[in-house]
């Protein structure tokens, strides 16, 4: 690809007096064996604006969204004077691609009223005078991204300055830009985060899983089956018993047998009643007082006897002692009243006095009289005896009644057995009853087992199945997560591999190209044999024997040329045959190196558009060694138009002849 011509209208300092556009010739197809275009001019004369115009033309808003700042200030003033509102800006790049010419036209409008752009810039590409359908696609197909385009359109001075300031950071930045490692790293980080989330989700779900439920269900079902078997066995037993029962009485039992049956049932009930009664009796605590039931008559008699018995001498003496201690010094005697009250007579009192004022109640205190104590003891036990007599009486009454009934029933049973004189029948019936009892027991047992199956086992199984279902759902969920995780892992692996491969590939390619460039640029190729940048972005210059030079062994000039070699190596890696537009290409390079570098670059036949400063880069010496490669020589001038603003203009010069720097003209 060659950039043939650039046409600019109201772009930065490029203002056309005729209000059309300025043309900047970039490649003369008549001299296609020479590939260097020189744009010579001091700082501020519009060299960098050419680079900016090319990038805006190709990429528009993607390159610079605030492109309204590119508007030519003179044109704004003139439009204002014309009382118009809109300034039209345009950059047109005519390029040659595989023998065909294309016109890439970028245009935009600037609204002077608010100082804003009027919408987005517009792109159109003409081929043979006709616009092509997919102009954006054309740019995408033939140019790298705007970021990578900066490896073709750049300021060499700026690049080297940044490299000197932060070598590894700068290398890393360039490499990452080239291979998109930063984006890849972001993606890898995101994928790793996603993986962690998947793992977390899986763990959380897994913690809710109950475990070996299937086995628990199996055990329960086995238990159920066993119980169902037991029911069947009972069923068989019942059927056998029914059959045997039927064998005993082919027809239904006779009235006698039925009567007999009723009596036996009654007997059983009564026997059960006596057992219950006895149980209650045993629990009633009467038994330890059964002696009182016999003693109550003895106790009753004892109380009567004691009450009638005269007071003994001992008892009298005991009573006297009590009375004496009660009287003390203040009383002279005791008066027994008509109402069985007992009063103390004060000493000196006249007991025949009618008012009896000097009497006081006798308080005998708590001392026990012997007779009284014995009587009290008897009375206590008399009371206990009566109570227990009543209790036992009730039990006995119930018991006697039940027993009487029982005896009667037993007697009747015996009588039936005797009157029928059919002991065989009686035995048969006993057997019949036994079978009935067994059947009843078996049926009850069956019911119990069925109930257990329904209420416990089946409920447990249902609960377990629900749990199992939940577990299975959760397992499915985990499986889905695992699948997603697996997919993410694959993507992660691919991303990591891609990063490594890209990096390895890039480094191998860049190292190779840069080394070739270095060897063709420096004189001492044994010493400066190759450039090696490792995966940690460490920059090394190696000797022919493979040993790396120490930093102090590389002077600034050699370092710069090595770095430039690396930089060109990067752009070569992009494998785009597009022109280089380089600001100040020789400004920082040592004499000798610059010549060899340019010679080396020229061999690639890529178009090289150099913006050079006269007197610094563009000198007699440099012109002489550049001359064989110069395709076009442009000189950039500027003037103050109508005393308003500086505007730039370009003059194409003879490429074969040196132009001396005329300070007055600048």
Question: Could you list the residues that contact other proteins (CB under 8 A)?
Answer: 274-275, 277-278, 281-282, 287-288, 290-295, 297-299, 301-302, 305-306, 314, 370, 374, 377-378, 381, 389, 392-393, 395-397, 399-400, 403
- Measured from the CB of residue 411, what is the shortest distance to other proteins in angstroms? 15
- Tell the smallest beta-carbon distance from residue 277 to other proteins (Å): 6
Largest CA distance in the chain: 180
Task: Return left, alpha or beta for 328; rule: phi > 0 is left, psi -120 to 50 is alpha, else beta.
Answer: left
Rg (alpha carbons) of the chain, rounded to whole number = 64
C-alpha 102/C-alpha 130 separation (Å) is: 10
Contact 155, 559 (CB under 8 A): no
Q: How far is residue 109's CA from residue 16's CA, in Å, rounded to a whole number?
A: 17
Closest CA to 317 of 377, 370, 375: 370
Q: How far is the CB of 315 from other proteins (least distance, A)?
A: 11
Q: Are 93 and 57 in contact (CB under 8 A)?
A: yes
Judged by CB, which is closer to other proteins: 263, or 292? 292
Least separation in angstroms between residue 280's CB and other proteins is: 9
- Residue 227, judged by CB atoms within 10 A of its CB (0-12, 13-18, 19+), counts as middle
In the complex, the smallest distance separating the C-beta of residue 417 from other proteins, rounded to whole angstroms, is 19
Strands (E), 449-526: none
Q: Tally the C-alpha atoms within 13 A of residue 586's C-alpha that lie toward its C-beta.
A: 30
Closest CA to 561 of 586, 584, 526, 533: 586
Q: Closer to other proteins at the Cβ: 88 or 384?
A: 384
Long-range contacts of 523-531 (CB under 8 A, 24+ apart): 523/592, 528/554, 528/558, 528/562, 531/562, 531/565, 531/566, 531/569
**Min CB(302)–other proteins separation in Å:** 5
Q: How far is CA 472 from the centre of its chain?
A: 21
Minimum CB distance to other proteins, residue 265 (Å): 20
**Contact at 8 Å (CB) between 345 and 335?**
yes
- Rounded least distance, CB 322 to other proteins, Å: 16
Nearer to other proteins, 397 or 652 (CB): 397
Minimum distance between the CB of residue 381 and other proteins, rounded to whole angstroms?
A: 5
> 144, 101, 27: which is closest to 576 by C-alpha?
144
Do residues 286 and 395 lie in contact, with contact meaning Cβ atoms separated by under 8 Å?
yes
Distance CA 363, CA 319 (A): 13
């Amino acid at each position: 690809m060659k950039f043939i011509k650039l046409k600019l209208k109201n772009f930065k300092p490029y203002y056309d007096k005729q209000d059309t556009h300025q043309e900047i010739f970039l490649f003369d197809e008549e001299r296609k064996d020479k590939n260097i275009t020189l744009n010579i001019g001091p700082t501020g004369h519009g060299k960098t604006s050419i680079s900016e115009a090319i990038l805006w033309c190709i990429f528009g808003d993607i390159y610079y969204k605030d492109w309204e700042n590119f508007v030519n200030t003179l044109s704004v003033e003139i439009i204002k004077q014309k009382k118009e509102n809109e300034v039209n800006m345009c950059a047109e790049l005519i390029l040659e691609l595989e023998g065909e010419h294309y016109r890439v036209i970028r245009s935009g409008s600037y609204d002077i009223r608010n100082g804003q752009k009027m919408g987005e810039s517009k792109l159109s590409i003409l081929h043979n005078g006709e616009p092509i359908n997919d102009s954006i696609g054309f740019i995408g197909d033939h140019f790298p991204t705007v970021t990578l385009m900066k490896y073709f359109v750049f300021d060499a001075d700026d690049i080297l300055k940044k490299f000197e300031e932060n070598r590894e950071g700068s290398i890393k930045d360039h490499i990452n830009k080239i291979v998109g490692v930063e984006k890849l790293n972001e993606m890898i980080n995101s994928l790793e985060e996603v993986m962690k989330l998947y793992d977390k989700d899986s763990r959380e779900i897994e913690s809710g899983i109950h475990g070996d439920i299937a086995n628990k269900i199996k055990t329960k079902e086995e238990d159920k089956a066993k119980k169902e078997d037991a029911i069947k066995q009972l069923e068989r037993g019942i059927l056998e018993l029914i059959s045997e029962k039927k064998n005993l009485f082919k027809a239904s039992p006779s009235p006698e047998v039925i009567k007999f049956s009723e009596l036996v049932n009654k007997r059983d009930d009564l026997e059960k009643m006596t057992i219950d009664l006895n149980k209650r009796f045993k629990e009633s605590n009467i038994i330890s007082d059964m002696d009182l039931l016999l003693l109550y008559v003895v106790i009753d008699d004892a109380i009567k006897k004691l009450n009638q018995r005269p007071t003994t001498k001992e008892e009298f003496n005991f009573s006297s002692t009590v009375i004496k201690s009660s009287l003390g010094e203040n009383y002279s005697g005791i008066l027994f009243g008509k109402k069985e009250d007992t009063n103390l007579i004060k000493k000196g009192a006249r007991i025949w006095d009618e008012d009896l004022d000097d009497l006081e109640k006798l308080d005998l205190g708590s001392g026990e009289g012997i007779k009284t104590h014995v009587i009290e003891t008897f009375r206590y036990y008399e009371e206990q005896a009566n109570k227990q007599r009543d209790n036992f009486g009730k039990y006995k009454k119930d018991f006697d009644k039940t027993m009487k009934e029982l005896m009667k029933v037993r007697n009747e049973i015996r009588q039936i057995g005797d009157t029928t004189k059919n002991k065989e029948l009686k035995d048969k019936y006993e057997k019949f009853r036994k079978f009935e009892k067994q059947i009843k027991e078996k049926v009850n047992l069956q019911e119990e087992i069925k109930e257990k199956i329904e209420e416990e086992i089946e409920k447990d199984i249902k609960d377990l199945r629900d749990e199992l279902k939940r577990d299975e759902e959760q397992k499915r969920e985990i499986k889905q997560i695992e699948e997603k995780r697996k997919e993410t892992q694959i993507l992660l692996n691919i991303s990591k591999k891609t990063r490594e491969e890209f990096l390895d590939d890039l480094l191998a390619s860049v190292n190779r190209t840069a080394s070739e460039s270095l060897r063709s640029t420096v004189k001492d190729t044994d010493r400066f044999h190759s450039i090696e940048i490792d995966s940690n972005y460490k920059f090394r210059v190696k000797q022919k024997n493979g040993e790396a030079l120490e930093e102090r062994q590389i002077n600034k000039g050699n370092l710069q040329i090595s770095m430039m070699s690396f930089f060109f190596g990067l752009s070569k890696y992009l494998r785009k045959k597009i022109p280089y537009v380089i600001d100040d290409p020789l400004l920082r390079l040592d004499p000798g190196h610059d010549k060899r570098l340019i010679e080396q670059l020229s061999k690639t036949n890529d178009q090289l558009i150099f913006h050079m400063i006269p007197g610094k880069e563009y000198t007699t010496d440099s012109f002489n060694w550049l001359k064989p490669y110069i395709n076009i020589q442009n000189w950039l001038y500027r003037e103050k138009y109508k005393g308003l603003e500086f505007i730039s203009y370009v003059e194409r010069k003879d490429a074969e002849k040196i132009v001396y720097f005329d300070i007055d003209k600048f």
